Each structure stands twice: as structure tokens, then as C-alpha cells.
Structure 1
């Protein structure tokens, strides 16, 4: 009997809170975050800069950030990828999915890695600022590489859009994500019992 309880304690696939792997609760909450982020990215999008109405914001990255801060970088990465898979079936298709994943995971991973080491408000702010900078850079680079592939634009035309459109849009987007996450993170995690 002692031997079987010892095995259960070391089982990395245990579905209990005591297991060193993902608990049933963590899997269920991760699935909930994935569903919520997917709903946000598919049904809640709108332009935030009148000059560039084709660039639309959705709050899905907020959900991914909260998942990463609450449950760690692995959960943040899982939510940042799985929640965007439905994009394949939308007008934005494969490339829209790639861009959404790049934009989100480049913010979520740095933020959650920093916060994992320093679980204070300061750690959250530093992490989100680093994540915001990484996301803006990743979005600009991804636009230069990916946009010519699906929008049939010359690379030079995409580069010409960086200062007037891509940079302000992405800076505003990550600022909204960071500020809203900072405001709602604690109440949400308390409601989840984390």
C-alpha cells in the first residue's frame, strides 16, 4: 500500500492536486481560458485607430496573459496557441492564425516568465512591459515577413506602413492588454481560487 501511494505521488500525469503534473483543475481552467480567448478572437474585434480600420483589436491576449500569470508560462503558451486554431476556418485563415499566435505568445511568455520569478506587482509590471516590447517587435517583423505572402503587397509597401500604421496600432494594442490585465488579474485569480 505504501508503495502504491509513493508511485501516485511521483506520477507526473496525476489528476489530483498533489501530482507534480497538471491537475484536473488546471486542465479544466486551461480549457476554459482557451474557450474564452477563442470567443474573444472570433467574435469581439473592432478597429482602435480610425486611420487604419483594417487593423482590428480583440481582447483575447488579456485572457492569455491572465492564464500565463496565474498558472505559469506553459499554460500561457498553451492558451496562446490553442485559442487561435479556429482562425484557420475564418477569412484570415492560416496566416491570420500565425500572426495572432506570434503577437500573443511573444507578450505572454516574457510576462509570465518574469512573474514566475517575482510574483509581486512589480514583477507583473516588469514582465508585461518586457512582453509588450517583445510583442511589438515580433508583430512588426511578422508583418514584414507574412503580410506580403497573403496580402499580395510588396515588402517595401509593408515597411512603409510601419510608422504610420503598424507601430501605433501594436503599441496601443499591447498597452490595452497590459493595463486591463493589471486591473483584473487579482480579482479573476481569486475567483478561480488560485
Structure 2
């Protein structure tokens, strides 16, 4: 490898790290501003942190998206701490990765408007499915245990909104799944609006 190509490669790595770090910081800040929704339990809040994560995945590749998602969670742990012995954070990480990784992997091979739409659709469906499993097996049990709140109480929050919610399974299907799908769609719409404006900056 020549000295010039070595310097160029090193510069590219430094630029990649800088861009990923900035996007992770933006995602962390956005994570602090979550909006409660009246038709979901109070602990399900809509945030826009995944917008920065998805933009990084589309512009810089799947590895960048996964790195931004992970750094965002780490920053939140450093500044906000954890009430669930990292269990809630692991669940959030899995859900975030389930959105960004499939969509970024698909978009990397299909960089067209149609490809972006399909990529987002794949990500939303993936997040909906993985989010159900993560909530059923990880997040909801952790929330119940660490906050001393029986699952019946959590289920009751859902049934007060939708009487069809009778147990943990129906809670996940009728509360968690619609919430994650809604969040995925909203995030995808925002990414669709912003990406073409931000992408040239990230590719410089």
C-alpha cells in the first residue's frame, strides 16, 4: 500500500468515526424528547431517535447504523442510568437493531426510491415482530419486576384503553405491536423527507 492510499484510508476511517459519533449524539438527544400517546399505555412513548439511526444506516451502511444504535444506548446509560439492570436497554437495543439492520442491508443493494420504500417496509415489519418478542420475554417482565408492578396491573393499563386486552399475549399483540408499527411508519416518513437533504452532507 502506498503512503498516499494509506493516508486516504486513514482519513476515511476518521471521517466515518466522526460522522457516526455525531449521529449517535443526535440520536441520544432526540431520545430525551419522547411523546406519550393517549391511546397507548404511558410507558410507550413515541421518539425520533431512530431517525438519526436509520439515516446513518442508509448513508453509511448497516455497520454504521448498528454502531449508532449501540452508542445511543450507551450514552443513555451513561447520562440517564438504568432502572432495570440493563434489561430494558438490551430490549431497546434489539428493537432498534431490528429496524435499522434489515432496512440498511436491503437499501445498500437497492439504492433507488423504490428500494428505500421496500427497505423501510422491511424494517418496520421486522421491528414489529422482534418488538413483540422483546416485550413479551424481556421488557415487560423486567418492567414488572424492577418497578414492583404485577403483570395484571400492566395488562390492566392496556385493557382500560382496549377491553380486548386480557393477558400478556393480547397486550403485546394489541398494544405493543401497533405501537411499534406506528413508530416505525412515523420514523420512516421522517427519514423519507430528510434523507435526500442530509445524505449529500454525510457523503462529503
TM-score of the superposed pair, with normalisation by structure 2: 0.80
Query: Of 35, 52, 65, which residue of structure 2 is paired with 1:46?
Result: 35
- Counterparts of 1:99 and 1:87, CA distance in 2: 14
Deviations 1:99-139 (A, max 9, x none): 22111110101111111101111111111101110111000
Q: Match for 1:126 among 118, 132, 139?
A: 118
Q: Are 1:86 and 2:75 counterparts?
A: yes
> Against the structure 1 CA distance between its residues 96 and 135, is the aligned structure 2 distance closer, same or farther, given a 3 Å change threshold?
same
Does 1:174 pair with 2:174?
no
Cα distance in 1 between the residues matched to 2:100 and 2:25: 17
Match for residue 26 of structure 1?
16
What residue in structure 2 maps to residue 15 of structure 1?
10
Contact 2:84–2:142 (8 Å) recurs in 1: no
- Residue 112 of structure 1 corresponds to which residue in structure 2? 104
Cα distance in 2 between the residues matched to 1:106 and 1:56: 18
TM-score (norm 1): 0.84
CA distance in 2, matches of 1:173, 1:57: 6
| Structure 1 unaligned blocks of 5 or more | 18-22
How large is the Cα RMSD of the aligned pairs? 2.3
Asked if the contact 1:48/1:169 (under 8 Å) is kept, the reply is: no
Residue 20 of structure 1: aligned partner: none
- Indicate if the aligned counterparts of 1:87 and 1:94 stay in contact, CA closer than 8 A: no
Alignment partner of 1:148 is 2:141: yes
Kept in 1: contact 2:73–2:89 (CA 8 A): yes
Rounded to whole Å, the distance in 1 between the matches of 2:40 and 2:72 is 28
Change beyond 3 A, Cα 1:121–1:175: same
Question: What's the CA shift string for 1:2-32, capped at 9, x where partnerless?
Answer: x753xx6368x94223xxxxx2211111000
Where 1:83 maps in the other structure, the secondary structure is: helix
Relative to structure 1, the CA distance from residue 51 to residue 26 in structure 2 (aligned partners, 3 Å threshold; closer, same or farther) is closer
Aligned length: 183
Residue in 2 that maps onto 1:186: 196
Match of 2:157 in 1: none
Q: Specify every segment of 5 or more residues in structure 2 that has no aligned partner in the other structure, as ranges.
A: 153-165
Contact 1:65–1:76 (Cα < 8 Å) also in 2: yes
